[in-house]
């Protein structure tokens, strides 16, 4: 391998001039690099050039770069009609069709074209980098450089060593990511790498909540946006990325991790995929985007989320103390004895309301479980044991009258937001346990690539490692499902009262 310092990087090659290749080329051009762009389709090459020009032109119009810098950036782009045109490239990034054999053939062919010290990187999102490298003689110089769409806007890049990748190759790949203005995280060559693996928790747990009939998709989306502060609810996110993208990605990760139940999706996900209801791009997915379609009710039979109504004062008894009930008293909920109370209040961690009612021998028709996770954002979620929604609806009506947004959902272990967040934190802990990424990198990656308002470890600290651990243990006990088994990383830190970021 060459001893050239990374700063001597001058020319990169990009193979595949589709959405990703064009974006990578644009980012490299505006970072001052020369780019040789190759595609097996001449039309795709011309289209990419026109797109890159237009986008760089817009940057100049908006004053983000000077007109001269834009002209120079465009001047650094060369279209390579033959693969051999890539010979001068110091790093080649492959962004062709997502299939193993064409990628292997391409890498084997590139080996005979570029100098021995040229780094060969793949932008694959679902194939093992080591499987692509297998077709090559010199596997030390092969790595994954996983960009996110749209490349010029997305700041994260995952850099992935394959089985034989040298440290020198990793350094050069990391230096290129930095040169492009990206934040790079180094992650293991596992299905989904870091972001697409961890992203399963947010999406599939929402699907399981829907599958159990706890709440409708619009209600789940609204709770995750308004109570937890996510920019998009899980179903809105799946509709945006496309169910033709996230259903196969979920399958790759689930199969790659040998059918770990934590990564399993639900039949609705597959049936929308099979029906071609792919989300925004096809006008219909979890939500309906067709013209004239009524906005999906955010709550339906789970009860209205926000409509204020001046409910009559409600009497309540707190069966199990928990932080948060004081705030309800301040809003006018009148505390009385158990016999007189219209609502018997509990705030379980991981148990469903039915389990709490049975455990404490409470009158299930009056039990209301309250989730305070969204209280800072003036959002509460309520649920009741099976058959007992009257008291929850009355409490909801009263609290809405005091200006709170309140969702009433069907009985569920850990409501909606605490349940989804426990799964996000748990999978993040498992990823740290497997050494796929560090807690710091996991937080950075999910903030940058998925716009999470807090990284998964930040969520874990905010909720409290013991609370998350207890929530999962109860969810596992209530459902009997291994999907909810706590990660050993989480369990050990929760038991000893340590930070979730405490190293091994």
Q: Which CB atom, from 126 or from 476, has the smaller least distance to ligand NAD?
A: 126
Q: How far apart are CA 493 and CA 495, in angstroms?
A: 6
Ramachandran category for residue 32: left, alpha or beta (phi over 0 → left; psi -120 to 50 → alpha): left
Contacts to ligand NAD from residues 145-164, by CB under 6 A: 147-149
C-beta separation of 185 from 194 below 8 A: yes
3-state secondary structure of 452: coil
C-beta separation of 393 from 333 below 8 A: no
Active-site residue numbers?
125, 146, 158, 196
Residue 18 binding ligand NAD, by CB under 6 A: yes
Which positions from 83 to 102 touch ligand NAD by CB under 6 A, shown as an x/- string? Answer: ------------xxxx---x
Local structure of residue 258 (DSSP, 8 states): T
Local structure of residue 225 (DSSP, 8 states): I
Residue 2 binding ligand NAD, by CB under 6 A: no
Q: Which CB atom, from 88 or from 102, has the smaller least distance to ligand NAD?
A: 102
Residue 16 binding ligand NAD, by CB under 6 A: yes
Q: Which residue number is nearest to ligand NAD in terms of Cβ?
A: 18
Nearest CA-CA partner of 189 in 158, 160, 165: 160
Choices 19-27, 225-233, 438-446, 476-484; region in contact with ligand NAD by CB under 6 A: 19-27
Which positions from 24 to 43 touch ligand NAD by CB under 6 A, shown as an x/- string? Answer: ---------------xxx--
Residue 196 binding ligand NAD, by CB under 6 A: no
Q: Which CB atom, from 97 or from 488, has the smaller least distance to ligand NAD?
A: 97
Which positions from 98 to 127 touch ligand NAD by CB under 6 A, shown as an x/- string? Answer: x---x---x----------------xxx--
**Total residues in contact with ligand NAD, by rule CB under 6 A:** 23
Quote the strand ranges of 296-396, DSSP E. 315-318, 334-335, 343-346, 367-371, 379-383
Q: Which CB atom, from 1 or from 44, has the smaller least distance to ligand NAD?
A: 44
Helix axes 465-479, 488-496, angle to 10 degrees: 130
Q: What is the DSSP string of 77-143?
A: EEEESSGGGGTT-SEEEE---S-HHHHHHHHHHHHTTS-TT-EEEE--SSS-HHHHHTT-S-GGGEE
| Shortest spacing between CB 420 and ligand NAD, in angstroms | 23
3-state secondary structure of 235: helix
Residue 17 binding ligand NAD, by CB under 6 A: yes
Binding site for ligand NAD (CB under 6 A): 15-21, 39-41, 44, 95-98, 102, 106, 123-125, 147-149
């Amino acid at each position: 391998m060459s001893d050239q310092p990374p700063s001597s990087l001058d020319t990169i090659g990009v193979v595949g001039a589709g959405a990703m290749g064009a974006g990578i080329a644009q980012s490299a051009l505006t970072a001052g690099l020369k780019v040789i762009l190759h595609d097996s389709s001449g039309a795709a090459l011309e289209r990419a050039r026109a797109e890159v020009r237009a986008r760089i032109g817009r940057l100049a119009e908006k004053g983000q770069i000077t007109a001269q810098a834009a002209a120079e950036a465009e001047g650094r782009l060369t279209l390579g009609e033959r693969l051999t045109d890539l010979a001068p490239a110091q790093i080649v990034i492959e962004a062709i069709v997502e299939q193993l054999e064409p990628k292997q053939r391409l890498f084997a062919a590139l080996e005979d074209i570029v100098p021995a010290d040229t780094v060969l990187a793949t932008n694959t999102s679902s194939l093992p980098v080591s499987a692509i490298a297998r077709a090559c003689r010199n596997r030390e110089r092969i790595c994954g450089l996983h960009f996110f769409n749209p490349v010029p806007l997305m700041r994260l890049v995952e850099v992935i060593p394959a089985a034989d990748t040298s440290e020198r190759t990793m350094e050069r790949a990391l230096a290129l990511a930095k040169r492009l203005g990206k934040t790079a995280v180094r992650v293991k060559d596992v299905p989904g790498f870091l972001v697409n693996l961890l992203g399963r928790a947010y999406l599939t747990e929402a699907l399981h909540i829907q599958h159990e009939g706890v709440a409708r998709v619009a209600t789940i989306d609204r709770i995750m946006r308004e109570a937890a502060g996510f920019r998009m609810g899980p179903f809105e996110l799946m509709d945006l990325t496309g169910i033709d993208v996230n259903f196969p990605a979920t399958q790759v990760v689930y199969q790659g991790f040998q059918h770990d139940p934590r990564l399993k999706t639900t039949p609705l996900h597959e049936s929308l995929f099979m029906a071609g209801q792919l989300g925004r791009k096809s006008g219909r997915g979890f939500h309906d985007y067709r013209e004239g379609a009524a906005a999906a009710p955010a709550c339906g039979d789970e009860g209205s989320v926000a409509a204020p109504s001046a409910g009559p004062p409600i009497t309540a008894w707190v069966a199990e103390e928990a932080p948060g009930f004081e705030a309800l008293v301040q809003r006018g909920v009148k505390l009385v004895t158990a016999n007189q109370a219209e609502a018997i209040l509990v705030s379980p961690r991981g148990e469903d309301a039915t389990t709490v009612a049975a455990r404490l021998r409470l009158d299930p028709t009056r039990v209301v479980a309250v989730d305070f996770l969204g209280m800072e954002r003036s959002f509460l979620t309520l649920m009741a044991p099976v058959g007992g929604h009257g008291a929850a609806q009355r409490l909801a009506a009263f609290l809405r009258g005091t200006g709170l947004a309140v969702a009433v959902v069907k009985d569920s272990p850990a409501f909606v937001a605490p349940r989804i967040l426990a799964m996000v934190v748990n999978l993040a802990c498992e990823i740290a346990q497997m050494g796929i990424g560090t807690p710091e990198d996991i937080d950075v990656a999910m903030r940058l690539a998925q716009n999470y308002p807090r990284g998964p470890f930040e969520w874990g600290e905010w909720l409290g490692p013991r609370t998350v651990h207890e929530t999962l243990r109860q969810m596992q006990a209530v459902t009997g499902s291994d999907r909810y088994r706590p990660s050993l990383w989480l369990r050990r830190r929760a038991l000893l009262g340590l930070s979730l970021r405490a190293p091994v």
